[in-house]
Amino acid sequence: METTGQATVISNKTLWGGWILSGLVIAFLIFDFGIKLVPLDIVLKSLAELGYPDTVAMGRGLGILLMICTVLYAIPRTSILGAILLTGYLGGAIATQLRVGNPLFSHLLFGVYLGLMVWGGLYLRDPRVRALIPFRGMDD
């Protein structure tokens, strides 16, 4: 068990669950910013389809931004800042999907699903977030 300053106790199951959920998100985001940094042809094609300039600089710029947000999220001391920044990044992705009229559940809400995983993983592993949103019965 992990204990913090104000007698907040997180069970090992909950802590592991949080790190696993966060790890899945981090792994996906590493893949995503990796293909943007290269950038692959599919990234340039997708940028054009979404109405953005299909330039290498645009793909790399998005990749660098996502990499910074992901690294901040992965480091425990800066994870809340990283989650906030990722929420903004995902909000832009959702707005873009809405603007071009992509399907609701597969495209538009994907950013919502990922955002829920970002904050869900952080909630399970970080007592500071748990103190802000106290659900009962989470450490069973």
pLDDT along the chain (140 residues), means of 10: 56 93 97 90 89 88 96 96 97 89 82 96 93 72
137 falls within a domain: no
Question: What is the reported pLDDT for 35?
Answer: 92
The number of distinct structural domains making up the chain is 1
CB 73 within 8 A of CB 82: yes
Q: Please, how many CA atoms are within 13 Å of residue 124, restricted to the half-sphere of its CB?
A: 18
Question: What is the reported pLDDT for 4?
Answer: 46
Token pair for 56:
């290498």
Question: What is the reported pLDDT for 8?
Answer: 65
20 falls within a domain: yes
5 falls within a domain: no
Amino acid, single-letter form, for residue 79: S
Token pair for 97:
């999907």
138 falls within a domain: no
Domain extent, residue 50, equals 11-131
Question: What is the reported pLDDT for 39?
Answer: 76
State the DSSP code for 77. G
139 falls within a domain: no
81 falls within a domain: yes
34 falls within a domain: yes
94 falls within a domain: yes
